[in-house]
Amino acid sequence: MPRNQQIVLDNRPQGEAVASNFKLVATDTPALKDGEVLVRHHYLSLDPYMRGRMNESKSYAASQGLGEVMIGGTVGEVAESKHPKYAVGDKVVGMGGWQEYSVVNAEQPGALRKVDTTHVPLSHYLGAVGMPGVTAWYGLVKIIAPKEGDTVVVSAATGAVGSAFAALAKARGCRAVGIAGGADKCKYAVEELGFDACIDYKQHSDVKAMSKALKEACPNGIDGYFENVGGWIMDAVMLRMNAFSRIALCGMIAGYDGAPLPMANPALMLINRMKVEGFIVSEHMEVWPEALKELGTLVGTGKLRPRETVAEGIAAAPEAFLGLLKGKNFGKQLVKLV
C-alpha cells in the first residue's frame, strides 16, 4: 500500500492562525476491508469554515481534533476498491481531508459520490459544482428567495461561493452586485462572472464610504444580501437594506480569529422587518441534486466561468489556507496533489 502524506492540526491557534499550527506527517495506508475504497486525491479543497473548526470553542460542528488529519473536501480517483459500485479509475468526490489518500467506507451514505468529468472539470466539483456552489444556491434560492427585478448583494464576491452567486441571480432576473477586494477582482466579477456592479472594499474602507458606494450601485436599495464576511461591511450593507429584505448568513470570515464581531445598528433589522437566517449547507442535503444540476448546466454552457487558485503539493496547504483567510486567492482555493 502507498505511503500517505497528511497535514494534521498540531496545536490550536492563539488568535490568528499560523503555519506552525499544522504538521506534515507520513503514514502507511491500511489494507482495505470489504465495502471500502482507496481514493487517490487529485485536488484538496481549502475553505474558510476550516478556520472555525481549529478553535476549541462551541460551534455548529465539532472542533478539529488535535493530531488528526485536517477536515476538507477532496476529488480524485478510485485506486483500489472492495465495493461493487466503485471501480478503479472512477472519479469521485468526498471529504478525504488534507492528505494524499483516503480509505472510505463506501457503505456510508454520502461518503463518496461518483462524478462525470465529460463537461465539468474534476476540480470544479470542489467549487462551483460542489459545496460552495450549493451554498450560494441555497442562500439565494431558499433564504433570499428573490423576485424578478430584485437587487441582491454578496460579499466575498469572487470567492468560491460568491462566484456562483451572480450566475444564479442573473438566471432569476435579479440585479447582482458584488463586494470584493481589489480592482482586478472587481473587473473579473463584472466582465466574467456577470455581476452588474462590484464594489472594491479596499477603495471604500469604512462604513460611510461603503454605504455611499452601495447607494450608487443599488439605486433601488437592497432586497437580499448573502453574507460571507460580517463586520463593518455588514454594517454598511444594513444601512441600504429595504423593508422586508432578507439576509442569508453564511460566513463571518472577519471574525474567524476568535474575537466577537459587534454589530453597529441591529435596530435596522426591526425597522426594516428583515429576515436574517444563518445556515449550514450540509444540513440541507435534500436540495443538493437540484442545485448541482443547475450549477453543472451553468458551467457546462459557459454561463458560469469559475476561476481557481491552485497551490502545488500537500506541503503547500497550510500557507495556501492562511492566504485564503487574508483574501489572497482569486476564486476557489485548491491544492493540487497529482
pTM for the model stands at 0.92
Distance CA 4, CA 315 (A): 12
Provide CB contacts within 8 A for 153, sequence distance 6+.
Answer: 176, 177, 178, 179, 214, 218, 222, 224, 225, 226, 237
Q: Which three cell numbers mark 239?
A: 444601512
Task: Name the grid cell of 89.
Answer: 479509475
pLDDT at 202 over 80: yes
Q: Would you place residue 254 in the very low, low, confident or very high pLDDT band (cuts 50, 70, 90)?
A: confident
Q: pLDDT tens digit string along 101-121?
A: 999 999 998 899 999 999 899
Confidence of residue 338 (pLDDT cuts 50, 70, 90): very high
pLDDT of residue 110: 86
Residues of the chain above pLDDT 70, percent: 100
The chain-wide mean pLDDT, for the chain, equals 95
102: which strand partners? 39
Place of cell 432576473: 173
Average pLDDT over residues 26-48: 96
User: With helix as H, strand as E and coil as C, how does the chain read?
Assistant: CCEEEEEEECCCCCCCCCHHHEEEEEEECCCCCCCEEEEEEEEEECCCHHHHHHCCCCCCCCCCCCCCECCCCEEEEEEEECCCCCCCCCEEEECCCCECEEEEECCCCCCEEECCCCCCCHHHHHCCCCHHHHHHHHHHHHHHCCCCCCEEEEECCCCHHHHHHHHHHHCCCCEEEEEECCHHHHHHHHHCCCCCEEEECCCCCCHHHHHHHHHHHCCCCEEEEEECCCHHHHHHHHCCEEEEEEEEECCCHHHCCCCCCCCCCCHHHHHCCCEEEECCHHHCHHHHHHHHHHHHHHHHCCCCCCCEEEEECHHHHHHHHHHHHCCCCCCEEEEECC
pLDDT for the residue numbered 2 = 86
Position 192 scores a pLDDT of: 94
Over the stretch 156-170, which tens digit does the pLDDT of each residue have? 999 999 999 999 999
Instruction: Work out the pLDDT band at 59, boundaries 50, 70, 90.
Output: confident
CB-CB contact of 187 with 199 (8 Å): no
- Inform me whether the pLDDT recorded for 143 exceeds 80: yes
Residue % of the chain over a pLDDT of 90: 89
**How far is CA 149 from each of CA 31, 43, 109, 208, 248, rounded to the nearest angstrom?**
57, 38, 40, 26, 18
Say yes or no to pLDDT of 233 above 80: yes
Please tell me the predicted confidence (pLDDT) of residue 84: 96
Residues 6+ apart with CB under 8 A from 218: 151, 153, 175, 177, 240
Residue 258 in this model has a pLDDT that exceeds 90: no
- According to the model, what pLDDT value does residue 204 have? 97
Q: Is the pLDDT of residue 58 over 90?
A: no
Note the pLDDT tens digit of each residue in 79-109.
999 999 999 999 999 999 999 999 999 999 8
Distance of alpha carbon 224 from alpha carbon 181, whole angstroms? 21
The confidence score (pLDDT) of residue 256 equals: 75
Q: Which three cell numbers stand for residue 1?
A: 500500500
pLDDT at 261 over 90: no
Contacts for 321-327: CB closer than 8 Å, 24+ residues apart:
321/17, 321/46, 321/50, 322/17, 322/18, 322/19, 324/46, 324/47, 324/48, 325/17, 325/48, 325/51, 325/253, 325/256, 327/156, 327/181
- Please tell me the predicted confidence (pLDDT) of residue 260: 81
Q: Output the CA–CA distances (angstroms, integers) from residue 156 to 174, 179, 202, 227, in the order listed.
A: 18, 6, 12, 8
Average pLDDT (243-251) is 97
